[in-house]
Structure 1
């Protein structure tokens, strides 16, 4: 294997948008280090190697300090500069906040917020001395509105969006860029995993995860501050959200996400 190719790292890279982001990097000549919570990450790495690059899988729990730090140590020990980092891993929880387990809410925050900050710190402190690098942070269209029945998810993604925008400005002139990807509803397992498969959005037509990943990759390479991942309707939602009141958006989201009553 050669080390002349640039190296990218992708969290949540064993399935969904994360795996498609890893494929985008691989198709553009990057070796890729990926992490995931299950042994599927090894299968994902094998599929990426079929694209003619090297792929380095690492299984870890992104909700723990040890899991995040372990992945960074694994990447650092490859002994190569990280040219691009996609901080993509994230989870959702559906249902009423009053009913959801507190430990589940804490796990979401640990992955979506704490883990993002943790790995971003390591990546930034690696890239800035090198004078180059690209960082992609996966947020969500949900970052632009209240999200009842996903009551901690939306705020966690709003944090990711504003964190990316803030970090981007701080790093201006360093050679390191930051881009936020805001996907709409996508054909991954997100809604099923969040317990929202039976909701209005869960049953609706989804954006193609390959298209969403390509938009994110293209925006990263073009040094855009953010991109909305999805079709024209998805992009229009974000435009409309800029001028729609929070109570109206909250009521709309509640209708779309309230779990159906048990039969």
Structure 2
């Protein structure tokens, strides 16, 4: 019976990294969970998250397809409970030169990071707006502030997400629904390995702890903040990016993300 009164949080991209840490915090803070990812590891994550009395439902689904989002939303509706917190964290990276990338690869990045994310946000936020209650945390990135040479599609998708988050927050400013954009920098997750960037300078550099990033984002969401950049180095980098010419930023990014840069002293 105790579980029935716990609020419901939905976390995408929750099998590992920042998403898993965000789900862990939500469970700790008294939420039941619906967690989603496009890999079977999401079920192992559900087992690990079933602590502190949390009821956790795992959904293995590809959120790069509208049908996948519909499948997740059906699972949410199946709980018979309103979503109090949506953490839209699912995302994909892709490194190397754009002209060398397969269409299917960059299309999946765009469809996961943008199309699937905003479709899910729209479906859940409509219900929140009708109740005039709810919190949404969207994982953007400081990468959205700079042209990403050798990571062009990913950075472009995060520029969209950062902007989108600010825009819908404004649209909902007269409601009790809050939108928060978490903008991390390079974080110690499987992102760079999956994006084929382990031979780059950024891939081999020391990175932020995903647990720290998640704590920063979750606290900002509960406080109803519009956006938060995790870590003082990332705050400085994003501030500098706002006043630096785009061409200079692209060249700086090239030095960090071009293949082979990680092998140079």
- TM-score with structure 1 length normalisation? 0.97
Q: How does 1:217-228 map to 2 (within 5 A)?
A: 217-228=218-229
1:111-137 CA deviation, whole Å, 9 max, x = no partner? 001001110110111111111000011
The residue that corresponds to 2:193 in the other structure is: 192
CA distance in 2, matches of 1:178, 1:100: 33
The residue that corresponds to 2:9 in the other structure is: 8
C-alpha contact 2:86 2:136 (8 A) present in aligned 1:
yes
The residue that corresponds to 1:29 in the other structure is: 30
CA distance in 2, matches of 1:181, 1:253: 21
Can you give the 5+ residue segments of structure 1 that lack an aligned partner in the other structure?
none
Can you give the 5+ residue segments of structure 2 that lack an aligned partner in the other structure?
none
CA distance in 2, matches of 1:76, 1:169: 27
The offset of 1:142, in angstroms, is 0.3
The offset of 1:52, in angstroms, is 2.3
1:186-233 CA deviation, whole Å, 9 max, x = no partner? 01000000000110000000000000000000000011110012x321
| Runs of 4+ residues over 2 Å off in structure 1 | none
The residue that corresponds to 1:259 in the other structure is: 259
Q: Secondary structure at the match of 1:254?
A: helix
Q: How does 1:106-255 map to 2 (within 5 A)?
A: 106-229=107-230, 231-255=231-255
C-alpha contact 2:27 2:51 (8 A) present in aligned 1:
no
Q: Secondary structure at the match of 2:137?
A: strand
CA distance in 1, matches of 2:63, 2:251: 32
CA distance in 2, matches of 1:50, 1:137: 24
Structure ranking higher in helix proportion: 2
The residue that corresponds to 1:100 in the other structure is: 101
CA distance in 2, matches of 1:207, 1:95: 22
> How many residues end up aligned between the 2 structures?
262
RMSD over aligned Cα atoms: 1.4
The offset of 1:51, in angstroms, is 3.1
The residue that corresponds to 1:62 in the other structure is: 63
The residue that corresponds to 1:17 in the other structure is: 18
1:153-177 CA deviation, whole Å, 9 max, x = no partner? 0110011011110000101121100
